[in-house]
Structure 1
């Protein structure tokens, strides 16, 4: 923790306010009958702060804190009856709360927020039952008095219910608030928030979410037990009534009212709990009614809490300096863009030591093998690119390296710097020297840019802050260090993801699709950052579908398909391997052919279509006509924009720019990628749900069901009452298409119909789609395999980085070569390969 003047000034506010309040109490400015309420408000402030910070920093909502409150109070009563010193009572209560809280936090870390709340509810129920039955200690329903507690340190004697206890409560609350100020700026808070925001990404920087949950719950429970000790001293009598489940709900309401995780909000919440009975009496309504009305009003009109709302309002009034524009922030990079120095380094580094070695590594999820018999080696200072189509096993390989396979079963062996790797936890791999980025820039949204990087440290020193500042300057993020990631464009979020991984100075950097979603300038800057990593001695494993940029930085390339290694070579030669090319482009078997002629009516027209996701360009300047009866193939690598275009054609996704027009009343239907079946429903129920959603019922529904079921293969027609979860991949795909057909669409859009299927099943699915085309249905196939699209479609559109790179007919002898080049590099002008005017009437041979 780095203490500066501003932080010390903020921390001093609590004790200063407490001193002023105690001076008022001593001087008689506060009436004697209100001093008890002031002390009670101070006690409640500590409890509300404990619950609020637990929820705000760790995302854990606890209904179990009344039990910890009771434990502290009964410790006071027991200690006073057995002549324990005050310090022993405090230490015993705090230690007990910390142990129990740590256990609950660790046990509940694997569950969702709902189940943690239920766990804490059960804990409170059990504790209150013990209190009621252990009458020899607690007095049962009758309660037990607090007589007096002497201080072993010579601080005097406190009588239960005496005036000194009121001063002690106010002073203790002031000290707790003062300690909370540096805690809010510490690495502890950052790591707690990181574990809450994104547990998976947190593990890659050495943060174990379950350990953070245990720690935060232990500290929160200890503080609440301490507040319980103060309550026992303040009241002079302890009974079960103040610690009911209703009080637990009141605590949560007070946290929300004041502002979850805010210090002043805790004070407001403590005051609300204290004077809510007086407010209820004043308005003549029961306390639960008043509490419910207040909570509803806050949730509806002040969802962030009263204190954050007032603070935001005050800042908006006082703010005079305009915010910095959100323009493009250039990275500070000095490395040359020419990749030739890398290639030279690769040639001269053939004798460098092996940093990473994988032998026969497999990862399976149930009966699915996502990675099978993968073997590779990586030398120090080498940049290794891993390529392959969607579903090839690339991300599974990276997850196996970084320990993020979840419930997957991992076999084989892997050594990193001579140490076994596969048995190490994800958090331990960070310490071994492995850094990791993610495809979608998984940043911690509740932390600032600087805190996203600082949270990689346990104890933050001035030197750490200086190092992080230098790192942010090197990647062009210094000007936005105090901003939240969600305020930044996607390109800067990608840089932040990289900076966080670089903060640990890893020996091995794992990059998951770093070029995806970036524009040309941003990709060039990222390439320079990768070269800088290499120059500093870091080995890199990188996967991506933007092959031009990937190959420009790689020394060596390994290709995967269906979880297996299918090729390896230099970037200039690897795509010449027939197995590698066919994994991207597919092979043509000629079994299924579309009908020879199509209609002239335009079903759907797209003009100037563009779309973005949070600043990521998914589509740009798409012009496309889909004619009646055509089988249109939209091909492209993963991330090219196929699914986004399919959603816009379907009408379920509204484009950010451009216009979608239909030729009259056109009904579209979409069979999405991954099938998206309702696995717990039967085959018939899956079809019925789609029909109900389209407003089809009664006799019309029965007729549609009969027609749709008839389209399915016999092995599915005989199992209509079986669960969809029991189907094979190919059978699920045919059911997904049938579900799309039940609405009798004019245009059927099928996204990746062959994904994950065996070749025989692929042929069966496409044969059935071809029959639909022969029946006059317009079909749009979103297909990753170019050769498959060329073999079954009238027209093929090739997407590359969100734009149409090629558009033509498979019967054009030149188009196949043009489409293949466009698929990999996108270096074609769409105008040179547009569909000729006579294609509207020419038969397709």
Structure 2
């Protein structure tokens, strides 16, 4: 297996071959002199557009600095030709100077937004062009500077400006530039650039530094632009400031969009567009800016990926069939490698955390967390939503972001916390992500290969073998968007395993997978155990998680609260209470009438996201005036069910029936407040959305403000970001009340709050229930729901596992059993199991 396939070499040879044929035609006089000049100019612009095109398509950077690099190359050539510089010195000087400035811009802009990069490159162009205009002793100022001949120091002869030799050189250079870009497509350089562009955080996890990639891409792109400038000076024979205005930057971006960012043929289309659009505008009798604007608008509306890319995608969709499960999936599942016993207590420690604390502003996501992992051990981390599990994994992989980390962590005896994420990959730490954060613009094979700095034949063979082992060999040349979610999760795992990590970190790998895929994943984890890999894994699918774990550590409120063997850890009262809460006295609730009228009914409701089932066969009635609690672990389907009850999410299957003109309001998980707006403005936005204006708005605002606690009523003109978490939750509920809903749905009302604030939030929700409002609480804590609801529904993996009234003494035991494994093992009155959700 070679590094470059025959097809890639053929594509690379196509550019020089076409250029050679074109040179022969030009030399034979087959093209009129004026058209020959236009062809030479089109070749110059092809190199220039290629420099911008690949920077945008591969690195995701839209630059306005390229007119300055283009001018730099042209002025280098003109000045050098009048001072006895050789062709080689001119090219090397222009490319080195431009590459240095490009690397600076790429490194400086990589840490900021696209708007910042645009402003930075715009400022650079303005300053550069002004300097060139004022530096009259070198550039000639507004009068320009003539271009004379250039001698080659390598004995290649003398190159006269504005002649046929210059045109031949431009065409030949364009062909070579296209060939170089074609050879770079299958290289690690392009893969790593695209990876850093499409998902910076995931790129860091595989050892790719986005800042370094941006600096490298900008430097190479600037050097190509400088070469185009040298060619322009040779073809035109004179250099003046006019061709390098900011209008050229806009035209370059338009040419890239028209041809297609990241495509080689798109650069040729863009070069031709820049060359002949003035002639086309003159022939059509319209100003050139109008014609360019119409073409650009048409491309954005009808060919958003550019001509080449859009047409290529349409052809690929027409020719390819949807990806399916590989034929050998059954064999992969039926292979049953022997489980690996836990390492001995005397096994060396691979990882140790001591008093690790992570804070985001005033929020402590981890607080004094300490634990150790032995070499070859698989440790499962469990805990309710907000317990700090993902933050712990981010600490291990160096992806904490804006959080402040304190404490100490040792990996294989070496300090870990001060190492960058890219270095941790080289230390032997690999990780997956909860939502399979893969690189969408790379194929399945390239997603694995991009972890390497160089792509060799050996690396390609190793990647192919890994994909075969994971069950992805049949889709190696597909893009992630063409794959179902289960295969995307497998690809995320394959990328993490690409360099045989010593420590494998898995973030909810079982989430969203069906039973067969979960079994396959468990087998793959066991294979890694056999290879001696240490695994740290978090998930909410406890039965699958416990099947592969040697030891389980339970977290709550950012610190470990218990640990033990998988079959025994849930017997620890502290661990159970972290999920279920402590059952207390039931709050005061309104009495339920004998003839209850339903607010909303669901019948046979199912919902899936991209083929991943979130809800299955849900039949549920929410009676008016009642408080219904929907309880389940993270990922059980609570939020999806809440959105369907709200009416904002239509189910994939089944029906939702509401009673008359039912007004519903949803308080989403995480509150989703407008943090920069004041309390008053947050409430007013909700009123505007409900169509409330004028006097009614003022009356509704005063009414809702009375529901708020006094400390919030007195701070109506304070930004929402200044409130505590509990105060923000109360404001989020108040915002929902602005529409005077008949049905209020609150998703995770206690998430991230202190016990005192939880009590206050629930007290205010209870007050709403006593005033006659129908309330649905989506909760992780069974105990909290039991003390605040008339009826509790337990969800497990998208199914209703059990439902009943918390006032029934036998119900809580049944609900607790169903919460963890989806099974209700208690018999009903007829002696049969009430429910058996798993199967």
TM > 0.5 between the two?
yes
Aligned to 1:171: 172
CA distance in 2, matches of 1:664, 1:60: 52
Tell me, yes or no, if structure 1 residue 357 matches structure 2 residue 352. yes
CA distance in 2, matches of 1:332, 1:209: 40
Kindly indicate whether the alpha-carbon contact (under 8 Å) linking 1:331 and 1:476 is maintained by their aligned counterparts in 2. Answer: yes
Aligned to 1:679: 675
Tell me, yes or no, if structure 1 residue 476 matches structure 2 residue 471. yes
Distance 1:605 1:337, change over 3 A: farther
Aligned to 1:542: 537
Pairwise CA distance, 1:829: 8.4
Q: For each residue in 1:71-125, what CA deviation from the matched residue of structure 2 results, as whole angstroms up to 9, or x when unmatched? A: 0001001111210110000001111111111110011001112221111111110
Distance 1:831 1:610, change over 3 A: farther
Kindly indicate whether the alpha-carbon contact (under 8 Å) linking 1:337 and 1:524 is maintained by their aligned counterparts in 2. Answer: no
Pairwise CA distance, 1:589: 2.7
Aligned to 1:613: 609
> Per the alignment, in what secondary structure is the counterpart of residue 490 of structure 2?
helix
Aligned to 2:749: 753
Tell me, yes or no, if structure 1 residue 765 matches structure 2 residue 761. yes
Tell me, yes or no, if structure 1 residue 109 matches structure 2 residue 110. yes
Aligned to 2:414: 419
Q: For each residue in 1:448-483, what CA deviation from the matched residue of structure 2 results, as whole angstroms up to 9, or x when unmatched? A: 111100111111111111111110011110111111
Aligned to 1:842: none
Distance 1:331 1:353, change over 3 A: farther
Query: How large is the Cα RMSD of the aligned pairs?
Result: 1.8
Kindly indicate whether the alpha-carbon contact (under 8 Å) linking 1:333 and 1:475 is maintained by their aligned counterparts in 2. Answer: no
Q: Across the two proteins, how many residue pairs are aligned to each other?
A: 828
CA distance in 1, matches of 2:168, 2:16: 12
Q: For each residue in 1:625-645, what CA deviation from the matched residue of structure 2 results, as whole angstroms up to 9, or x when unmatched? A: 011111100001111111111
Kindly indicate whether the alpha-carbon contact (under 8 Å) linking 2:350 and 2:412 is maintained by their aligned counterparts in 1. Answer: yes
Kindly indicate whether the alpha-carbon contact (under 8 Å) linking 1:437 and 1:497 is maintained by their aligned counterparts in 2. Answer: yes
Aligned to 2:834: none
CA distance in 2, matches of 1:826, 1:715: 43
Pairwise CA distance, 1:239: 0.7
Kindly indicate whether the alpha-carbon contact (under 8 Å) linking 1:749 and 1:780 is maintained by their aligned counterparts in 2. Answer: yes
Tell me, yes or no, if structure 1 residue 386 matches structure 2 residue 387. no
Distance 1:338 1:822, change over 3 A: farther
Aligned to 2:424: 429
- Unaligned 5+ segments in structure 2 are 831-839
Aligned pairs (5 A) from 1:331-730: 331=329, 341-342=339-340, 345-346=341-342, 349-590=344-585, 592-598=587-593, 600-730=596-726
Tell me, yes or no, if structure 1 residue 74 matches structure 2 residue 70. no
Aligned pairs (5 A) from 1:230-309: 230-309=231-310
Q: For each residue in 1:713-748, what CA deviation from the matched residue of structure 2 results, as whole angstroms up to 9, or x when unmatched? A: 111122222221111111111111111111111111
Pairwise CA distance, 1:265: 1.4
Aligned pairs (5 A) from 1:130-145: 130-145=131-146
Pairwise CA distance, 1:809: 0.6
Aligned to 1:120: 121
Aligned to 1:837: none
Pairwise CA distance, 1:309: 4.1
Distance 1:222 1:81, change over 3 A: same
Please, which moves more after superposition, 205-214 or 589-598? 589-598
> Per the alignment, in what secondary structure is the counterpart of residue 176 of structure 2?
helix
- Unaligned 5+ segments in structure 1 are 835-845
CA distance in 2, matches of 1:747, 1:529: 46
Pairwise CA distance, 1:596: 2.4
Q: For each residue in 1:217-239, what CA deviation from the matched residue of structure 2 results, as whole angstroms up to 9, or x when unmatched? A: 11000000011011111111111
Aligned to 2:211: 210
Kindly indicate whether the alpha-carbon contact (under 8 Å) linking 2:333 and 2:516 is maintained by their aligned counterparts in 1. Answer: no
Distance 1:727 1:831, change over 3 A: farther
CA distance in 2, matches of 1:731, 1:14: 64
Q: For each residue in 1:208-260, what CA deviation from the matched residue of structure 2 results, as whole angstroms up to 9, or x when unmatched? A: 01111111111000000011011111111111100000001101111111121
Give the one of 317, 321, 324 matched to 1:323: 321
> Per the alignment, in what secondary structure is the counterpart of residue 221 of structure 2?
helix
Distance 1:670 1:275, change over 3 A: same
Pairwise CA distance, 1:312: 5.2
> Per the alignment, in what secondary structure is the counterpart of residue 279 of structure 1?
helix
CA distance in 2, matches of 1:335, 1:779: 44
CA distance in 2, matches of 1:696, 1:323: 51
Pairwise CA distance, 1:500: 0.3
Q: Give the TM-score of the pair, scaled to structure 1.
A: 0.96
Aligned to 1:48: 49
Aligned to 2:185: 184
Aligned to 1:733: 729
Pairwise CA distance, 1:311: 4.4
> Per the alignment, in what secondary structure is the counterpart of residue 304 of structure 1?
coil
> Per the alignment, in what secondary structure is the counterpart of residue 828 of structure 1?
strand
CA distance in 1, matches of 2:316, 2:540: 45
